[in-house]
Structure 1
Amino acid sequence: MASLAHAQPAPVSAGPAMRPLDRTVAILALLLLAAASLYAANVVSLKNGALVLVGSLLGVALYHAAFGFTGGWRAFVTERRSASLRAQLLLLALATVLMVPVIAAGEVLGRPVSGFVTPIGVPLLAGAFLFGLGMQLGGGCGSGTLFTVGGGSARMLVTLLAFIAGSMLGVAHAPAWSGLPSFGTFSLWQQFGVLPTLVLSLAALGGLAYLAARAEQRRTGKLVPLGWTDAATPRLLTGPWPLLWGAVALALLSLVTLLVAGHPWGITGAFALWGAKGLAALGVDVAAWDSWSGAGARAQLEGSLFAHPISAMDIGLILGAMLAASLAGRFGPKVDLRLGSLAAAVLGGLLMGYGARLSSGCNIGALLGGIASGSLHGWIWFGTAFLGSLVGIRLRPLFRLNG
């Protein structure tokens, strides 16, 4: 994740005083959030209006818990600090327990639900590797990029714009990649049943958490817990939150997303649409491109940004993070104009956007959504993206990136 979330923020004993800027931003964020939700509910559907609000709660949880994958993976690789990685594994475990039985049932109160199950093949492997590499250069994963943009990071806005451009390239090149070898999909719960899938998943996640904890203890001589280590009390509205709170909140909101949207939480599925609409607004005939010539793609181009469920949630997420940052007294432009840093942001964003489209998702849609759907592809994405992240960590000094 971005520099904002390299480490769990230190707890403080008193609430942060809101500056005039923070008050203004908090009011603006609330007004924009209310307008976005009401617009989506009235113009599109009540479901999409609700998804804007669910996205905003995800943004609050991500920001207050400083919860992301990029910095956590790097902290473990370079320093064996495992708190963030263990929190991610806890999130995966909780989401799996909550979501696999629901997905296996196929419906809730008469409404269909389905998981994310992606074919396992060359596109998945290549895309996950490129995404893992890109997240270390760009400074954020799918969710991390959005919530840090909401928090006021100018550098991460550059990453996001490149992310969108890379997504458009990925969509354009997807037909060429689709002809490469693939072994099809593999659903664990369909093959082995729900209970064995839960047991296997929890055993694997628990084993990884144990190994990560042991590695931290060997390197540092102690194990940082996922809750606070002193007497300070976390604050729900102003933050910061312990990682434990973040993992629980994100797991519960992932379940809410499944129940409301009918599918797991996703992030990057909307980015190519944002890019296409942006170019169309500038007069580019995007509808003439092969990747946007189908009936479904044309309907998305002509429809509202809020008509796409993932897009509605992404907009809500940014506004929720904006609100959280202002409540925390930490909103403000965070600018890093060093040439190396900006070059890494652009390259990282392009790689993440391209990789996400090849592998049908990012750390949220492919990793969290895949594993919590009981799909083998989520586990393969995890391992391959981690390998790409190792390469990205090695490349960071070339761009003079800190940490």
Structure 2
Amino acid sequence: MAGPTLVSSRRDDQALPRSSLIAGIVAAAVLVLGTLVLAGTISPAQGALLLVGGALGAVLYHAAFGFTSAWRVFIIDRRGRGLRAQMVLLAVAVVLFFPPLATGTLFGHPVHGFVSPIGLSVVAGAFMFGLGMQLGGGCASGTLFTAGGGNARMMITLVFFIIGSLLATIHFDWWTSLPALQPVSLATRLGSSGGIMLSLLLFGAIAAVTVWFEKRRHGTLERAAAPRQQHGSRWLRGPWPLLFGAVALAVLNFVTLAIAGRPWGITSAFALWGAKLTQLFGIDPGQWAYWQQPGNARALSESIWHDVTTVMDVGVIAGAMLAAALAGRFAPRFDIPLRSLVAAAIGGILLGYGARIAFGCNIGAYFGGIASGSLHGWLWLVCAFAGNMLGVKLRPFFFRQPKRPVVSGV
């Protein structure tokens, strides 16, 4: 006799759907057992970073903290709540990051930020990444947490994200040979206090611009939606307030700085995964200049579990999967339109390629770069936003959306 059918529209006090139950068990096992194994075989810090990644994945999922959707909504509809949340994220981050980065130590341990050259490779790479965000359907963090949350299409984006990252390592030396200025960090150039004040003024100015545009079109600012009624704990099953998500992500990035000695990153691991796969087919990526750099050469020669970024990426996926499972919403769908699949492939390659040559993604360059005071993070923001504007114009072809939704106001 067939068992009772479990549906996703269940009441919160009923049993989880089978897909969510299985996903929850798998995700919990990865986080618990992975932490124990990493702590025992590599270091306690490595095990702790897996849990930090898990916490980041849960926050991203439950707060629905997206960079791609926030930028798209502002570009199309001039709604700026998501962008303002990003400014809160960055404001909290610089207040936490700048003092230890200015001194070079945190809790007695050396730390460093993501500070990279300001050049044409950042311009081109960030623009590619921004375009890829809208075609691929997510940024670096968005790809991980939505894939972990059960979005089958984003797994396609992730696969091509890895391919694009690997391709960029082949040409990396050419891109970095293009004209560029030396790296500059506000945290060290102006000191922590001066850097924080200037950064906060810039964040406030961006937030004010979003308010002006939103009021000009709609007359009033968008309010956060009221949480849906449910029997279980909102903090266990979501959704979480967007601003809570912004603060939590900044604090968890600071925890990453304290444990790993550098900010949270995502996309360098994709290049490493791609390089490891090529070795299985008899190709030696070690002959490419990117993999001859000391840190990259060491990562290529070691197990991927020694790589901090890999461990945290796995944690993000597992954390988002656990969050989706507890919410009863882990239910992958595989009926993906062909044009959407093509967009995922193109977008993934642009995301991966762009992130490598721009010295990071929305996390490593935008979030981590600006939190480190790096001017390349600000250049990345401008160029990636321009790429998003083009991507928004191309989306209707791939996703059969109206070129512009009906909105009220001017």
Same fold (TM over 0.5): yes
Indicate which of 35, 38, 46 corresponds to 2:36. 38
Do residues 334 (structure 1) and 345 (structure 2) align?
no
Q: What is the distance in 2 between the residues matched to 1:276 and 1:236?
A: 39
Q: What is the distance in 2 between the residues matched to 1:374 and 1:55?
A: 23
Residues paired across the two proteins, number:
391
Contact 1:16 1:329 in 2 (8 A): no
Alignment of 1:302-313 (within 5 A): 302-313=301-312
Does the residue aligned with 1:236 lie in a helix, a strand or coil?
A: helix
| Equivalence for 1:6 | none
Q: What is the distance in 1 between the residues matched to 2:88 and 2:112?
A: 22
In the TM superposition, residue 285 of structure 1 has moved relative to its aligned partner by: 4.1
Do residues 242 (structure 1) and 249 (structure 2) align?
no
Alignment of 1:3-402 (within 5 A): 18-225=16-223, 228-229=225-226, 235-287=234-286, 289=288, 291-292=290-291, 296-402=295-401
Contact 2:107 2:258 in 1 (8 A): no
Q: What is the distance in 1 between the residues matched to 2:347 and 2:56?
A: 24
| Equivalence for 1:3 | none
Does the residue aligned with 1:149 lie in a helix, a strand or coil?
A: helix
| Equivalence for 2:6 | none
Residues 16 and 253 of structure 1: is their aligned pair in 2 closer, same or farther, counting only changes over 3 Å?
A: farther
Does the residue aligned with 2:118 lie in a helix, a strand or coil?
A: coil
Q: What is the distance in 1 between the residues matched to 2:11 and 2:342?
A: 39
**1:180-239: CA deviations, max 9, x gaps?**
10111111122222212111111111111122122222222321245x546858711111
| Equivalence for 2:407 | none
Q: What is the distance in 2 between the residues matched to 1:86 and 1:297?
A: 36
Residues 26 and 72 of structure 1: is their aligned pair in 2 closer, same or farther, counting only changes over 3 Å?
A: same
- Bigger mean CA deviation after superposition, 142-151 or 183-192: 183-192
In the TM superposition, residue 109 of structure 1 has moved relative to its aligned partner by: 2.5
Does the residue aligned with 1:237 lie in a helix, a strand or coil?
A: helix
Query: Residue type of the partner of 2:371?
Result: A
In the TM superposition, residue 338 of structure 1 has moved relative to its aligned partner by: 1.4
- Bigger mean CA deviation after superposition, 141-150 or 196-205: 196-205
- Bigger mean CA deviation after superposition, 354-363 or 270-279: 270-279
Residues 161 and 195 of structure 1: is their aligned pair in 2 closer, same or farther, counting only changes over 3 Å?
A: same
Query: Residue type of the partner of 1:170?
Result: A
Q: What is the distance in 1 between the residues matched to 2:13 and 2:97?
A: 35
Does the residue aligned with 2:31 lie in a helix, a strand or coil?
A: helix
Q: What is the distance in 2 between the residues matched to 1:304 and 1:230?
A: 44
Residues 291 and 196 of structure 1: is their aligned pair in 2 closer, same or farther, counting only changes over 3 Å?
A: closer
Contact 1:48 1:312 in 2 (8 A): yes
Query: Residue type of the partner of 1:382?
Result: L
Query: Residue type of the partner of 1:337?
Result: I
Gaps of 5+ in 1: 1-11
In the TM superposition, residue 30 of structure 1 has moved relative to its aligned partner by: 0.4
Q: What is the distance in 2 between the residues matched to 1:202 and 1:275?
A: 38
Query: Residue type of the partner of 1:116?
Result: F
TM-score by length of 1: 0.92
Does the residue aligned with 2:117 lie in a helix, a strand or coil?
A: coil
* Identity %, equivalent residues: 51
Contact 2:101 2:188 in 1 (8 A): no
Contact 1:336 1:342 in 2 (8 A): no
In the TM superposition, residue 16 of structure 1 has moved relative to its aligned partner by: 7.7
Q: What is the distance in 1 between the residues matched to 2:245 and 2:357?
A: 29
Residues 15 and 125 of structure 1: is their aligned pair in 2 closer, same or farther, counting only changes over 3 Å?
A: farther
In the TM superposition, residue 334 of structure 1 has moved relative to its aligned partner by: 3.0
Does the residue aligned with 1:330 lie in a helix, a strand or coil?
A: coil
Q: Which has the higher Rg, Structure 1 or Structure 2?
A: 2
- Bigger mean CA deviation after superposition, 323-332 or 29-38: 29-38
Query: Residue type of the partner of 2:379?
Result: I
Contact 1:13 1:232 in 2 (8 A): no
In the TM superposition, residue 369 of structure 1 has moved relative to its aligned partner by: 0.6
**1:232-287: CA deviations, max 9, x gaps?**
58711111111011111101101101101100111101111111122323454444
Query: Residue type of the partner of 1:102?
Result: P
Residues 289 and 232 of structure 1: is their aligned pair in 2 closer, same or farther, counting only changes over 3 Å?
A: same
Does the residue aligned with 1:378 lie in a helix, a strand or coil?
A: helix
Q: What is the distance in 2 between the residues matched to 1:273 and 1:38?
A: 24
Query: Residue type of the partner of 1:279?
Result: T
In the TM superposition, residue 15 of structure 1 has moved relative to its aligned partner by: 6.7
Contact 2:227 2:239 in 1 (8 A): no
In the TM superposition, residue 290 of structure 1 has moved relative to its aligned partner by: 5.2
